[in-house]
Structure 1
Amino acid sequence: MVVHKSPSCGCCGKWVEHLEQAGFPVEVRNDSDLSALKSRLGIPPEMVSCHTAEVDGYVIEGHVPVTDLERLLAERPPARGLVLPGMPLGSPGMEVPNGRKDAFSVELLDKQGNTRTFQQHPSQ
């Protein structure tokens, strides 16, 4: 897996640790301007987050939990990948000391740039 991130982003580094703890080998590529990459990979502007990963022909945008990534790779749907726009509190890499988690939805990004819900994550 290749993760493209800003060199100064701490939450991106924590997301990489989340992947590595699950056994994913990760190559990190620091880039100060990721907008061209996101555009080339077909990530709609309203779906962007702070980092972008590429794995097995899929794009992973944002703080997607490893369980959703593993499901994507097991099911292999015909899609561009998964997107989690923004930086939801409590998502992998965005954890807070009190354990609070906001509800968020990981979306499946199809080849035409449309999204549909892939996995709902409730608040805690």
Structure 2
Amino acid sequence: MKRMTLPLATGALLAMLTAPALAEGPVVEMYQDPNCGCCGAWAEHLEAEGFTVERHKTREMRAIKIEQGLTPELASCHTAMVDGYVIEGHVPAADIHRLLEERPDVAGLAVPGMPHGSPGMETGRVDDYRVLGWHRDDRTPEIFNEYTH
């Protein structure tokens, strides 16, 4: 039986201890109404794409949206925060990954309303929708991505 040298054993142990932490993706803090089911489906979509989602059920959604600078035109059912950005509604994980990679100067991304076919809203019907970015000082949204079918 071969014995590992101390530096190799220490390195292997360090790799084993840190591997789970490295495997976890960015942490998304999601706030949702306790009675909403599509929010959980959106969280599952994010988890399947490598995010860690911490879910918080609250009846204070309006206050959270106001605190995060969301206008009624940007609003959807759930509000989330990830790495300093606000994520409103059924934003696809790919767009959040792109946001975190490119780091544009926006407050966050929003998919207003609850369009059918967006992540968490797979109902059999598929609507066209836009992912919008906005700035806190100028809330005029800009198109970050479009989904047309």
Alignment of 1:1-124 (within 5 A): 1-96=28-123, 98=124, 100-112=125-137, 113-123=139-149
- 2: CA distance, partners of 1:82 / 1:103: 17
Q: Is the 8 A contact 1:19 1:66 kept in 2?
A: yes
Point out the structure with max Rg over C-alpha. 2
Residue 47 of structure 1 and its aligned partner are, at CA, apart by 1.0
In the alignment, structure 1 segments of 5+ residues that lack a partner are none
Q: Is the 8 A contact 1:49 1:87 kept in 2?
A: yes
Residue 33 of structure 1 and its aligned partner are, at CA, apart by 2.2
- 1: CA distance, partners of 2:133 / 2:30: 18
Q: Is the 8 A contact 1:78 1:111 kept in 2?
A: no
- 1: CA distance, partners of 2:140 / 2:31: 22
1:102 is matched by which residue type in structure 2? D
- 1: CA distance, partners of 2:36 / 2:67: 22
Q: Structure 1 runs of 4+ off > 3 angstroms?
A: none
- 1: CA distance, partners of 2:51 / 2:69: 24
Q: Scaled by the length of structure 1, what TM-score is found? A: 0.94
Aligned residues: 121
In the alignment, structure 2 segments of 5+ residues that lack a partner are 1-27
